[in-house]
Amino acid sequence: QYLGIGEYELTFVTLQEQVLAKLDSFDKTDYRPRDVPPTCSHSHETDVTLKRKRPEIKKFDGNLRGWIAFWAQFKKIDEDRKLEDEDKFAFLLDSLTPGSAAMKLIEGFPPSRENYAKAVGILKSRYGKDEFLIEFYVRELLSLVLN
């Protein structure tokens, strides 16, 4: 019986390391927008404003299974210093499935610079914690093994 427990612990630790490695690889993925030529609007010869097309992001429905892929894409918008937080908030709202658990978490916040950081913080605390993700994926893997 002790041997069985040790095997499960070893399996758990192995799976945990694999999930952490996968999470690290998602953090290092490089986002490249589609080849869309930017549109320029000229107000003065020296003042050029570039308008960028919004990248298409897979919608997040509040299921933990989709969080890693969603955040790997949305993180590029979150870290873009050229975008105002109000615009980031609009992108975030557009990236969530209407009526989903994730949308319900943040739909009460009026879109603003201050509330963007709060909304992202709530989503990260609910879906982005490594321990939750590891537990979720270990359960998924164990259900595959046991079935």
Residue-wise pLDDT tens digits, 79-119: 999 999 999 999 999 999 999 999 999 999 999 999 999 99
Confidence label for 32 from pLDDT (cuts 50, 70 and 90): very low
What is the pLDDT, as a whole number, of residue 42?
47
Burial class (CB in 10 A: 0-12, 13-18, 19+), 88: buried
What is the pLDDT, as a whole number, of residue 6?
61
Provide the residue ranges of all domains of the chain, joining segments of one domain with +: 2-146
**Bridge partners, 13 (sequence order):** none
pTM above 0.85, yes or no: no
Q: Flag the least confident range among 52-56, 68-72, 128-132.
A: 52-56
Percent with pLDDT over 70 in the chain: 70
Task: Write out the DSSP string of 10-41.
Answer: HHHHHHHHHHHHHHHHHHTPPP---S-PPEEE
What is the pLDDT, as a whole number, of residue 27?
53
Q: Is the pLDDT of residue 34 over 70?
A: no
Mean pLDDT value across the chain: 80
What gap in Å lies between CA 130 and CA 138, rounded to an integer? 12
Q: Residues 114, 89: contact at Cβ < 8 Å? A: no
Q: Residues 103, 95: contact at Cβ < 8 Å? A: no
Burial class (CB in 10 A: 0-12, 13-18, 19+), 74: buried
What gap in Å lies between CA 102 and CA 4, rounded to an integer? 38
What is the pLDDT, as a whole number, of residue 25?
67
Q: Residues 57, 91: contact at Cβ < 8 Å? A: yes
